[in-house]
Amino acid sequence: MIGHYLKIAWRNILKYKTQSIISVLGLAIGFTAFVLGGYWYQWEHSFDTFHPDWKRTYAVTTGGINKPVDGSYTELNQLHQSAKDDLKAFPEIEASCVIDLVSYGAEGKERSWMGLQVDSSFFDFFTCELISGTYKGNAYDRQSVILTESMALHLFGRTDCVGELYKAYRETVFTIVGVMKDYPANTELKFNYLLLAPPGYDGFNRRLETYVRVKPQVNIAALKKKIDGYKMKVENDKVYTYSDWHIHLRALPEVHIICSPELNTRFRNIRILAVAGLLAFASALMNLLSLFIARQQRKSRYNGTFRTMGASARDLAYRYLWELLLPLFLAFVLSMVLLEWLYPFYRDYTALEHYGIFDQFVHHLPKARLMKAALILYPLSCILFLSAAMLPVRLLVKTNPSASSGIWKDILIAGQIMVGSLFLVAAIVFYQQYRFTQTSDKGLVTDRIWQINTGFQAAYEKDLNRYVAALKQSPYIEEVTSMTIPVLSSIGDFYCSYITDLDIHREKEGTVDDNVLAVDSNFRHFFGIRMKSGRWLDPASAVKEYVVNETGAKMAGIDDDLLGTIHLDGKKSQEAFRIAGILSDYHYCPLQYPLDKVFFTVLSQKEKAEMYMTTPYIYIKIRPEQEERALTYARQLYTDYEKGEVAPGEQIRYLPDIMEELNASEIKMSRIFLTLAVICILISSVGIYSLVALSTEQRKKEIAIRKINGSKFGDILQLFFRKYLWLNVAGNAVALPAGYYFLHKWLETYAYHVALSGWVFLSVFLITLVIVLIAVAQQVRKAARDNPAEVVKSE
């Protein structure tokens, strides 16, 4: 019997092959997008859930220290020493674990390796799957290390290296007591080795990562509330007001989301992709079901013959379900092929790249888990869809199913129009924002400028001034400047060399953090940044000088009458300074971040040394037509001043390419949405076209009789078009307000964005209306061309 049902289902696919191909393609692409987005979302929310007792393990975080430039509230995955001591007073806490970060290179290997300094409590809290050796019985005296598998293979080419020595630079030697498996990619614990020694606080580092394990049956909500109300019992100092810090208890998966403000755009795009994929998949399912209903209505006389021959309602229902199940199976096979093909691109797009001291850690979503998720999600989705389809199927097996099943068909058509319109309006606004980010004036000139990144470790251990001097001697290089941080920041946070408190006398009361960026004297001219008022810094000035950006001048109340005034900073060093000018704003970060207040100053080599400040970022402006020679010269010198920290592709980069990458996620998301919009519109258009074709074929006799009675083509077209016009209105009545609401919320995530225009929504309505009109007109014209007498005779 099943074989018979499959044969009928396959014949229907061949008979309506155009409609079937569109349905299967739509289902496959929609499901693929849904799985890619949904799996990405699940992966980002499952960090550190592989530890054996993760549900009772929490990180104690601190809020109020780190304030991103977008004004959002974030938390730091660290706890002050004083608060850590007070945690012992909470009876709900069973145990605690403190972790410190350390960094060592390896003798003969220039690369720096990140490690965690841990005591025995670490192994009670977190996974340590050893390949060889043991962590038990060690003295925890800072003499022993456990290497990760990847580090052992890098240093020794094997994992059976227990008992050998790890010779680090700075004349430090450790004994290898174990080799452990690498942690999965979805972890916030980033390390290459474990240094066995009690983590310690010192004068420079009084905040460490702190984790606690709560007792069983503890009311977590009540404990979180109690810890949220905790106040640190530390007196204020000149830099931090400890009473403003807030302590929180966060589950391990929450740490990645809450303590990573630089990933806000990433999390937003994940949600968008997951929802977009789900909507595209739903649209394809609605198209499949609406076409199925229309076909069964057309074959109502054929199905009636089955009833006459004794077929029960259950038999008909089974046959109908198999006709739905076969396209679903074909779409599943195609979606698995698409996942296999798209995975390399998906892997690169979703790669989690860290920055700063963690830039060597790049995490990728594993392919095996993606495929496993697809194998689980698709059958579940099909079961849900077939369960929902049972209602219209039951209506179809009735003696006269036309009226009730026709209502379902209209609802499904309106739903497809709604999804298509929603995608189309989103794609248009996404593209507008993309064009805005591409064409808006960023305030600096990047042509012919290349960024050289030597790495922070090299900047501390090697004399980069010699590298800068050598670059200046090149006849192929026009100008050189250096900076403590990159001129363009992908995260928009901590855009400064150091933070101080300049007494401008127009600031609000209390401690004010002023971001100061140490630059070379040619910084403004090098990047072509304009002065709004005043003048640029004079390195020969006897008085310390600062220039503030335009945004900072407004925030601090600095205007032209304050420029040149001598100030005395009475809160710190009693050093006199003046504000020499106001620099026009330039966008040093993606447009979703607002610009912050930034002061610029020139520091002498002595001042940089006293502040432990280095300049690992060097910028060269290449003379016209000399790019190849200049880059060859710069790369030859680079090998003498680097320590293997920076990946080859990141060492010397073209600055316009870096600027393009600031909004790379928006560019990719715009393309994804445009692709899904085209697919959904195509599915809806072909679906409507096919439904109208089936409808006109069912009503050929009616059309013929109307022609005999004198009706013109326009009258017949109006008869059909009126119905689909109202379906178009109904679909857009839901899609356009919903689109406006969500797009307005999305644009609010940008500090600088386009304005939503009414013509966009009107255009979407007209576009969908034209699509419906073309589909209806072509099918009605085709039906109206038939000879009325022949049609009536045949019917």
Residues 105 and 230 in one domain: yes
Using CA atoms, how far apart are residues 119 and 198, in angstroms rounded to an integer? 5
C-beta of residue 512 within 8 angstroms of C-beta of residue 542 = no
Question: Where a domain ends, among 238, 263, 288?
Answer: 263
Residues 279 and 357 in one domain: yes
Residues 641 and 524 in one domain: yes
Predicted confidence at residue 51, as pLDDT, reads 93
Name the DSSP letter for residue 97. Answer: E
- How many domains would you assign to the chain? 3
Cα–Cα distances (Å) from 506 to 332, 512, 553, 762, in that order, read: 65, 11, 10, 48
C-beta of residue 720 within 8 angstroms of C-beta of residue 780 = yes
Task: Look at residues 439, 443, 494, 354 and name the one whose alpha carbon lies nearest to residue 660.
Answer: 439
Residues 387 and 527 in one domain: no
**Residue 720 is assigned to a structural domain of this protein:** yes
Predicted confidence at residue 478, as pLDDT, reads 93
Question: Where a domain ends, among 263, 295, 320?
Answer: 263
Residues 212 and 135 in one domain: yes
Q: Which two tokens stand for residue 794?
A: 């045949």
Predicted confidence at residue 450, as pLDDT, reads 94
Predicted confidence at residue 73, as pLDDT, reads 64
Using CA atoms, how far apart are residues 144 and 165, in angstroms rounded to an integer? 9
Cα–Cα distances (Å) from 420 to 38, 252, 771, in that order, read: 20, 39, 11
Using CA atoms, how far apart are residues 370 and 354, in angstroms rounded to an integer? 22
Cα–Cα distances (Å) from 216 to 95, 170, 202, in that order, read: 12, 46, 34
Residues 219 and 76 in one domain: yes
C-beta of residue 487 within 8 angstroms of C-beta of residue 497 = no
Question: Where a domain ends, among 234, 263, 292?
Answer: 263
* Segments forming the whole domain that contains residue 566: 449-655
Region for residue 113 given its phi and psi (left: phi exceeds 0; alpha: psi -120 to 50; beta: otherwise): beta
**Residue 443 is assigned to a structural domain of this protein:** no
**Residue 232 is assigned to a structural domain of this protein:** yes
Predicted confidence at residue 634, as pLDDT, reads 92
Residues 310 and 234 in one domain: no
Residues 601 and 673 in one domain: no
**φ, ψ dihedrals at 96, nearest 5°:** -135, 160
Cα–Cα distances (Å) from 178 to 112, 113, 135, 573, in that order, read: 20, 17, 7, 50
Predicted confidence at residue 506, as pLDDT, reads 54
C-beta of residue 698 within 8 angstroms of C-beta of residue 297 = yes
Residues 609 and 740 in one domain: no
Cα–Cα distances (Å) from 397 to 12, 314, 410, in that order, read: 18, 8, 19
Predicted confidence at residue 584, as pLDDT, reads 93
**Residue 100 is assigned to a structural domain of this protein:** yes
Predicted confidence at residue 569, as pLDDT, reads 62
Residues 279 and 359 in one domain: yes
**Residue 48 is assigned to a structural domain of this protein:** no
Could you list the beta-strand ranges (E) of 119-220.
Answer: 130-133, 144-148, 165-168, 172-180, 193-196, 207-214
**Residue 444 is assigned to a structural domain of this protein:** no
Residues 669 and 557 in one domain: no
Predicted confidence at residue 435, as pLDDT, reads 82
Cα–Cα distances (Å) from 479 to 467, 538, 571, in that order, read: 13, 18, 38
Predicted confidence at residue 6, as pLDDT, reads 63
First to last CA, the chain: 33
Q: Which residues, including other chains, have CB under 8 Å from residue 418's CB and lie 6 or more apart?
A: 730, 731, 732, 734, 735
Full-model pTM = 0.72
Average pLDDT of each block of 10 consecutive residues along the chain (795 residues)?
60 67 79 86 91 92 65 74 77 90 69 86 93 87 90 88 80 87 91 90 76 90 84 55 75 88 76 80 77 66 53 59 77 87 83 70 83 86 75 59 61 80 84 82 90 83 86 92 87 72 61 80 93 90 89 86 74 72 90 86 83 85 91 90 78 89 73 72 69 66 68 69 81 89 84 86 87 75 63 53
Residues 214 and 121 in one domain: yes
**Residue 49 is assigned to a structural domain of this protein:** no
**φ, ψ dihedrals at 665, nearest 5°:** -65, -35
Using CA atoms, how far apart are residues 366 and 363, in angstroms rounded to an integer? 9
Cα–Cα distances (Å) from 72 to 67, 501, 698, in that order, read: 7, 22, 59
Predicted confidence at residue 508, as pLDDT, reads 52
Predicted confidence at residue 343, as pLDDT, reads 87
**Residue 12 is assigned to a structural domain of this protein:** yes
Predicted confidence at residue 391, as pLDDT, reads 66
